[in-house]
Amino acid sequence: MKRTLSSLALLCLLASPLTQARSIPDPHQKHAPGNEAPQTPIAQAGYSNATNYQLACAGCHLSNGMGSKSNDVPRMQGFVGNFLKVEGGRQFLVRVPGMSMSPLNDAQLADMLNWLLRKDGMAGASMPEQYTPYTGEEVASIRHETLLNLPGTRAKLISAMRAQGIAVTDGMGD
């Protein structure tokens, strides 16, 4: 039995390079019809804010902004505006890795943040009464400051929200 298993393992090892060789693309292969032109970068495509959200945010926060506790992704729907009510929260929203490292340019990122933070949109009733929209210049000045401790920074902001009596309904629990 042991000799049979050893022989089988040796046979698999010898066959492995043949299997890998088939996965090497043919350098003369043509593009699929309709894909001949290079893809336009998102920052140059001129998509709507809703499309930019789907491309840059929905993969984690889901298309409706509900997030996923099991994946450690907080809910934005009806909650994200609370970050604007605590010191450092405005900057935090720009510096979150999904935002700061998105393929969107600074103006597009500002526009998408403003779109997310509408009272009739994702942020809903969580928005403060007074809101100054983000600008591309503001985003440019903030987004490149690396957020070294995302969980710790977020925890401090959540603590500040609780200290102000803001109900934390981000789906993450305590």
Q: Does domain 46-163 have CATH number 1.10.760.10?
A: yes
Residue-level pLDDT at 23: 64
Query: Which of 3-12, 30-39, 70-79 comes out lowest in average pLDDT?
Result: 3-12
Q: Above 70 in pLDDT, residue 14?
A: no
Whether the per-residue pLDDT at 5 is higher than 80: the answer is no
Position 12 scores a pLDDT of: 65
Say if residue 144's pLDDT is above 80: yes
For the whole model, what pTM was predicted?
Answer: 0.76
What CA–CA distance (Å, rounded) separates 43 from 96?
A: 18
